[in-house]
Structures are given as structure tokens and as C-alpha cells.
Structure 1
């Protein structure tokens, strides 16, 4: 049996939207492309047919992947959990870099939801692993490729 995969409500909703798009838009478009390519005759040397079949394989693989993730998802709605000031999955954490006094904010999300540009980091990332379980006011040391970086946890928000 597979372990449950933590996921935020927003992440689960995004996967459901992608799944619906794949099933209702992409899959019929690909089937139509295969049908049109078949009409061109000899399938051995029909590049359009082979390209459409390859697209179909990718689409079906992604559908199976998303369905598997959703079936094993443990959806955690941080807004319904009591605010204790501790860093946990789904929380948004404001950090102060103790070397530069810069402030940065991260939301701790599941692996599939992570997007560094949007300041969403995976629960399995080095920063998140260093933060989870700590409280507001704690100092944490994060091992980065450039060396150790010290942060102070300024605020923990459930948004």
C-alpha cells in the first residue's frame, strides 16, 4: 500500500482541473488527430500518426499519474487547524535571514505543488525540513549549496 501524500486543498483543486482538461479537451483532440492521420494512408511512414500516438501516450500517462496522486492524497486544510505558532505543512512562514536582515516568506506545500518563483516550497526541501516543528522566534540553520544560512522564524500564518 502506498503512503498518503500530503497536499493542500489548492494543490488538489489544481490537479483536478488539470485532470478534467486532459480528459475533456486534450484526449478528444488527440483522438481526432490520430483519426485524421490514419486517413493519410500508410502508417509506417506517417509522421503525423506517430506524433499523435506519442502525444496520446504522454496524455494517458499523465492522467494515470494524476489519478494515482489524488487517490493517495491526504488533503490538509491549514485554515481549519488551531494556530499554535508552530511551523507545519501548509503554513506560510516569514523568515528573517540573520546575515543580511532580508525577509522572505515561504508556504510549505506538497512536492507537486512546489513553485520556488511563487515562494511555495516542498515539505521535503532542506528549508522546509529545517522549519517544520519549530516555533515563532526560533532560529534555524539551513544547509544550502552555498553553505549554512541562519534564519529566524518571524511569523507563522495559516492562510
Structure 2
């Protein structure tokens, strides 16, 4: 079985969502189904069908989260000795050589990636180019519009 890297924060977020689904949303939808059944004919009962559809979504999401957590290799970056190298879980500030624009990314697992919040997947082209490099190194990232050079400004284990 292949292990999937995940940060401590990502695992906690999934566990929190799983807890909410099991303890709050699942009982609520079961109650909604019971109430809809009391209204009579189930063939033409829109409330019943909507509740059953929501139940299917909740059960599917529970299975999805449990599978992700069972395959996760949770990595606590704060427990790793800082070395100045870019590794999974580090926060990296890079400067585009061409125009000196600066951007900061945290390298996370595939399920945690969220570009709007500056979290990129360890399997993304930028992260793959950065992994193993150190502060001050120049990296070349191949993009659809051509190669882009970045300088690694800072690497933080936060």
C-alpha cells in the first residue's frame, strides 16, 4: 500500500470533518429521512428523496476521508531539524528572477493543496523543482508558457 504524505494540520482538518459528519450531519439526515417518511407516499416525496441524496453524499464523504486517513503518512515538520533545505511541509519564499516578484508557498500533500491559501501539492511542478534545494539556489520551473527561473529566498519549518 502506498503511503500518501500529509501534514499534521491536514490530518487534523480531515479528522475534524469526519467527526462533524459522523456526529452532527449523519444523525441530522437520519432524522430528516424519518420525518419525511411520516409524510406518506415516498414516490412523490421530494423531502425524502433530497434527504436520501444527502445521506448518500455524507456516507460517501465519510468513506473517502477514512480511506485518505488510512493511507496517510502524517509528517510533523516542526519535529524535523531545520536544515535550510526545501522538504515536504516547509514554507518557501521564492523570487521570480525575471521581475523580482515574490511569492510564498507551503508544500503539502495532494489533498491539502489550496493555491488560494498558498498551499501547493508536493507533486506540483513548482514543488518538484524546489524539493531538495536550499536558500539561495536558483530553480527552473517548466510551465506551459515556458521555463521560469526562481531564486529560493527563505525556507521555514512552520
TM-score by length of 1: 0.96
**Counterpart residue number, 2:10:** 11
Per-residue Cα deviation, 1:92-113 (whole angstroms, up to 9, x for no partner): 0010110110111100001111
Shift of 1:47: 1.3
Shift of 1:114: 1.0
**Corresponding residue for 1:63?**
62
SS of residue in 1 equivalent to 2:15: helix
Task: Give the alignment of 1:43-122 within 5 angstroms.
Answer: 43-122=42-121
SS of corresponding position for 1:74: strand
How far did 1:51 drift?
Answer: 0.9
Aligned length: 158
SS at match of 1:101: coil
RMSD: 0.9
1:144 aligns to what? Answer: 143
Unpaired segments of 5 or more residues in structure 2? Answer: none
For residues 66 and 73 of structure 1, the distance between their equivalents in structure 2, rounded to whole angstroms, comes to: 10
- Helix, strand or coil: the match of 2:100? coil
CA-to-aligned-CA distance 1:131-156 (integer Å, 9 cap, x gap): 11111111111122332211001111
